[in-house]
Homo-oligomer: A and B are copies of this chain.
């Protein structure tokens, strides 16, 4: 009996607090099926590692090290922003991929990423037909933006949502304490260039009694309506919190974050949306403000990850291996919601043709009529996703996160130049 074929796994695009939990699911499930699947080779820095034949032999890491991936944020093997062109436009890269796959007897391709990555995975899945190399390509969903179609939610999102809701709640308590003589408006900028899912999570603190305004990329920013809303909330509550998506923009399409600000030396400065929004409040209403930009902190915050999210990230990784072993190609495991309360879901499957390059935005009925908050339907959707805590272990006051050995697989091919 021939040795089972090996697998290639790569992380793609912006990393998350739980993408390594998916890696853990892939590797542990592959190990459990070692009679049917060989080694899992990880791409160093994503798909680039496949092109440059920089493969990491994950079998060199102990079971304990791999298990610790479940509790480790970021991409343990390195990720990249690199989108393969079509086979027609860049045949050279696909031929190289096949050379590397052949050289290392790789028959399974697991690609862990968002919409762009699903497109890459889809292209690889077609190599069986287009270039006559038998390979099964399975996409493992990941994105803090929660903008993949078909699946009810995306691993990575629940944890950033929990981070944003917890952080916004805590900062709002702070502002509430100080509002009498100091800060009355706190602005928190969160990720989301096109879809407002992350900002929406900030809206959950309304249920904790916090006056909150949410600015979505889906709703063009109306300065007057916004300052009127803030004014009303501050008059009623003495303070308010504003959650602004980085992608919030004016009706003409210009981002709030890119208002052409320059520093004292005349250099263009990449602003944030938060200071712009804070400035608008200050000028219109005169309130003292504070602002924060969470940036990477939000998507890296494994210490406050959602247990639901960690579990789902693991499960889609495990399911990807199971789908491959069941003979599937060009598919992605999905999360199918069965019920809101109690929250139940099952792992489903979507064809990559339906996933690649499709973005899922906030439905209009998840946003309140005035455009500044989330509806009960949205809250029903969001609440289960931030449920549960899955704290990492701590040592000397800091979380214990995995740094793998990342032992290189010996090269068999000549170098390849990325262009």
Contact with B along A177-199 (1 / 0, CB 8 A): 11111110010100000000000
Kindly report how many copies of this chain are found in the complex they form together.
2
Residues of B within 8 A of A214 (CB): none
Residues of B within 8 A of A398 (CB): 165-166, 169, 204-205, 208, 386
Task: Pick the contact of A180: B45, B173, B278 (CB < 8 A).
Answer: B45
Q: Does A95 have its Cβ within 8 Å of any Cβ on chain B?
A: no
A74 touches B396 (CB 8 A): no
Q: Does A353 have its Cβ within 8 Å of any Cβ on chain B?
A: no
With known contacts A170-B297, A279-B267, A296-B175, A181–B81 Cβ distance under 8 A: yes
With known contacts A173-B74, A296-B290, A397–B403 Cβ distance under 8 A: no
B263 touches A78 (CB 8 A): no
Task: Pick the contact of A174: B73, B259, B267, B276 (CB < 8 A).
Answer: B73
Residues of A in contact with B, size category: 35 or more
B292 touches A276 (CB 8 A): no
Q: Does A103 have its Cβ within 8 Å of any Cβ on chain B?
A: no
The 25 sampled A-B contact pairs (Cβ below 8 Å) are A46-B181, A48-B180, A48-B181, A73-B174, A74-B170, A75-B177, A78-B180, A79-B178, A80-B178, A80-B180, A81-B182, A166-B398, A170-B300, A173-B401, A174-B299, A175-B296, A183-B296, A209-B403, A259-B263, A260-B263, A261-B264, A269-B279, A272-B272, A303-B304, A389-B394
Residues of A within 8 A of B (CB): 11, 14-15, 17, 45-46, 48, 72-76, 78-82, 162, 165-167, 169-171, 173-183, 186, 188, 204-205, 208-209, 259-265, 267, 269-272, 274-276, 278-279, 283, 290-297, 299-304, 306, 383, 386-389, 391, 394, 396-399, 401, 403
